A and B are shown apart, each in its own frame.
Chain A
Amino acid sequence: DTGVSQNPRHKITKRGQNVTFRCDPISEHNRLYWYRQTLGQGPEFLTYFQNEAQLEKSRLLSDRFSAERPKGSFSTLEIQRTEQGDSAMYLCASSSFGQNTEAFFGQGTRLTVV
């Protein structure tokens, strides 16, 4: 499978715990994005990497959220001190370089904070 891969697919955690998600983009894509989607809403942009550089971050991204892409390949999204409001689907997408290129999404990680 050469699509965008995300792990884990589901995560249940207790409030206050830290969680980390992983995204493996399509291998030749140098752009990687994280989005968050809640029920009844479209995906909301969180952050974007070009190679290993984090070039954009949403104002939605509180200081409890951090993302990395250390070698310009896979990326991790960590949420510290989780809150119930963090419960959502976290989607990763990747695209090739260019002005208008389609982003391809992974299956997402469903986070439930109890």
Chain B
Amino acid sequence: EDKVVQSPLSLVVHEGDTVTLNCSYEVTNFRSLLWYKQEKKAPTFLFMLTSSGIEKKSGRLSSILDKKELSSILNITATQTGDSAIYLCAVYQGGSEKLVFGKGTKLTVNP
């Protein structure tokens, strides 16, 4: 069965720390991997990764895909309290338009 596993499930850090969130997947015919941030209700899109080894970057956030290891990481540098959220990883597989989500990593950034 297709699955996406995220680790850790929760993380508490202090402002200014750097964090690395992990996502591993087992899906048939992998197409792409997406990261979302969910603060209260709607997951908001962060990155889409399709090619291995190419880093996507947006401000203090960056992400990279490793197709050999079937995994991705999301890095957040100089964390701020506003980064507190659940970070979701999801995967598209070939032949389907459904996203398979992991359970998410709950990040809490304390001042």
Contact = CB atoms under 8 A, between A and B. Distances in A.
B42 A42 contact: no
Interface residues of B, number: 24
B43 A43 contact: yes
B32 A42 contact: no
A99 B31 contact: yes
B65 to A, nearest CB: 12
Contacts of A41: 103-104
A106 interface: yes
Chain B: interface secondary structure?
strand
Contacts of A103: 34, 45, 99
Given A56-B98, A100-B32, A89 B41 contact: yes
Interface of B: 4, 31-32, 34, 36, 41-45, 48, 50, 88, 90, 92, 96-104
Interface of A: 4, 31, 33, 35, 40-45, 48, 50, 55-56, 58, 89, 91, 99-100, 102-108
Return the 3 tightest CB-CB contacts between A and B, nearest first: A42-B101, A45-B98, A107-B41
